[in-house]
Amino acid sequence: MPPRLIAGLSEIADAYDALLVDLWGCVVDGVSAFPDAVACLRRLRAAGRTVIFVSNVPRPGAEVRERLESFGVAADCYDDLVTSGDATIEALNLRDDPWHAAFGERFYHIGAGRNERLLQAIRGSEAAIEAADYILTTGFRNRGTDTPEIYRDLFSTAIERRLPMVCANPDMASAHGETIVYRAGAVAQAYRDQGGDVRFHGKPYARIYRMAFERLGGPDLGRVLMIGDNLATDIQGARDAGIDALWIAGGLHAEEVGLADGAPLDAQSAARLLDDAGHAPEAAMARLTW
C-alpha cells in the first residue's frame, strides 16, 4: 500500500504518544536547524508527546546535545536523545554478544579527530594497524575529499590479519549544508566489499532502537512513530523495530523525488523510489512541519 502523503504532522500526530526523530535531513542540515521543524517539535511537546532524537552520529549523546544548541535546537524541543555513538560505546564496553566478546581492546581508528570523545568513552586504547585487535570507523579522516578507495591498501593489511571492523555510523552519506557527504557506512561497506568482517551500530540495527525504547520506559509500540529521511536506515529500522514510520522526502532523497529546489512532493516520483526500496512508510511529507 502506498504511503499517505501529508502536508503536516498535525494530520497524524493524534495517533502517537512518542516520536523517534532523526536529526540530519529532518531537523538540521549539519550547519543549522530548519525553523519549521523546530516549531513542529515544540508543538508536539506542548501537546504532551514525547520526542526522542535517534541519530546516526558517531558521538556520545552528551556531545550532540551541545551541538544542537549551536544549530538552534534548544532543550525544549526534545525529551532525550540516543546516537549511534551511544550504541557503539555500549556494545564495545559491555561486550554482550559473542562477536564483540571475541576480540581484544586495542583499536585502529579511521575517522576525524573531532570524534575524540567517542574514543575516550570506549574501553581500550588506540593502536597502529599492526598491533590492533579491531578497526573502529567513525567516518573519513578528511570529510568531503576522501573516498573509500584510499583505504584499499590499509584494508588489505587488515584483512590479512583478520581484523573485524566496528562501524559507529551506518549512514553511507548524509547532508552537510547544501552538499551530500560520505559517512562511516561507506568506509565500512568498502571494507566488507573487500572481504572484511563488519558490525554496524545505529539505525537500522536493533541496539539503538532498544536504547530509545528504554528511554521511553517501555512504550506501546503501536503508538510510536519514527520520523526520518533515509529509507535504508530510518524507514527500514522502523520496520524492523515494529513501529510506524513517516518519511521526510526532502532530506537525503530530495533530488531523487524532485524536491531539491523546494518543489512540492511528487507522488509518482515518491512511489517509484519507495517501490525500489521495498519498505514503504505509513506516511510521507516533503519536510518536517506541523
For residue 270, the model assigns a pLDDT of 74
Work out the average pLDDT over 87-99.
97
Q: Give the other-Cβ count within 10 Å of 142's Cβ.
A: 10
Least confident of 78-82, 129-133, 174-178, 257-261: 174-178
pLDDT tens for residues 231-264?
Answer: 999 999 999 999 999 999 887 777 777 776 666 7
Per-residue pLDDT at 180 exceeds 60: no
Residue 148 or residue 68, greater confidence: 68
Can you give the pLDDT at residue 208? 98
Binned at pLDDT 50, 70 and 90, residue 2 comes out as confident
Residue 175 has pLDDT above 60, yes or no: no
- pLDDT for 145 equals 66
Domains, the chain, with CATH or none: 4-85+204-285 (3.40.50.1000), 102-200 (3.40.50.1000)
Could you give the percent of the chain with pLDDT greater than 70?
94
Q: Is the pLDDT reported for residue 144 higher than 70?
A: no
- Tell me the per-residue pLDDT of 182-229, one tens digit each, with 9 for 90 and over: 789 999 999 999 999 999 999 999 999 999 999 999 999 999 999 999
Q: What is the pTM of this model?
A: 0.91
Q: Is the pLDDT of residue 177 over 60?
A: no
